[in-house]
Amino acid sequence: MKTIGELIKNKRFKKKYSRAKLEKETRIKKEFIKALEEGNWKDLPEQTVVKGFVKNIASFLKIDQKQASALLRRDYPSREVNINPKQVVQEKSLWSPKTTFTLGVLLVGFIVLGYLGFQYINFIRSPSLKVDLPKEGEIVKKKDLTVSGKTDSEATLKVNNQPVLVGRDGSFATDIEVFEGTKEVVIIARSRFGKESEIRLKIKPELSDK
């Protein structure tokens, strides 16, 4: 039974056309014409392209196109994947509007959780408190005693029950009056959530009557 390649080759011979002539008239490379005539399918592109080749050649050589198409369908190997192994598989993009939306929601969620966590830590912890003056067991010889140190900038402060102004950096300094019976200095820092830090320092008043 005649193949599509033999049909094209015989018609070409009858019309005394070379492959170069057929290439010029149909704009199909003679290498493809040769592969088609000899049935070398591995040297040809995918089936849809080969169908176009056969249609053009059949039209030029005055071959019945229905017959040519039927022979091509019969002769063309069924495993198209093996014919053209260099198929380009388009990879799906990993980034999409859905991905952007999901990441945006996650980012907002992390920000909200971070803020809530920060507020919770502030709620449960006591304010920091450090006292530079006076020192523990300090001998006080004047009625005015300087108390200074540092706490949280948002904390309220009292020294021996007296309110003390706290600076923007959390520093504080005040003078309290000391009497002969004053035995300690009590510094209390209170957060806006009601948590307290307290430092008690023993002092030894040795006040002069002068």
What stretch of H or E contains 204? strand 196-205
Instruction: Name the residue ranges covered by the structural domains of the chain.
Output: 4-83, 129-205
User: Per-residue confidence at 116, pLDDT binned at 50, 70, 90?
Assistant: confident
Least confidently predicted of 13-22, 53-62, 119-128: 119-128
Residue with tokens 């309110």: 163
CA–CA distance, 188 with 162 (Å, rounded to integer) = 10
pLDDT the model gives residue 90? 52
pTM of the model: 0.44
Assess whether the region 4-83 and the region 129-205 belong to the same CATH fold.
no
Cα–Cα distance, 91 to 2 (Å, whole number): 42
3-state secondary structure 33-75: HHHHHHCCHHHCCCHHHHHHHHHHHHHHHCCCHHHHHHHHHHH
At the second CATH level, the architecture of 4-83 is: Orthogonal Bundle (1.10)
| Percent of all residues in the chain with a pLDDT value above 90, rounded to a whole number | 48
The residue type found at 157 is L
How many angstroms separate the CA atoms of 157 and 142, rounded? 23
Q: Which fold has domain 129-205?
A: Immunoglobulin-like (2.60.40)
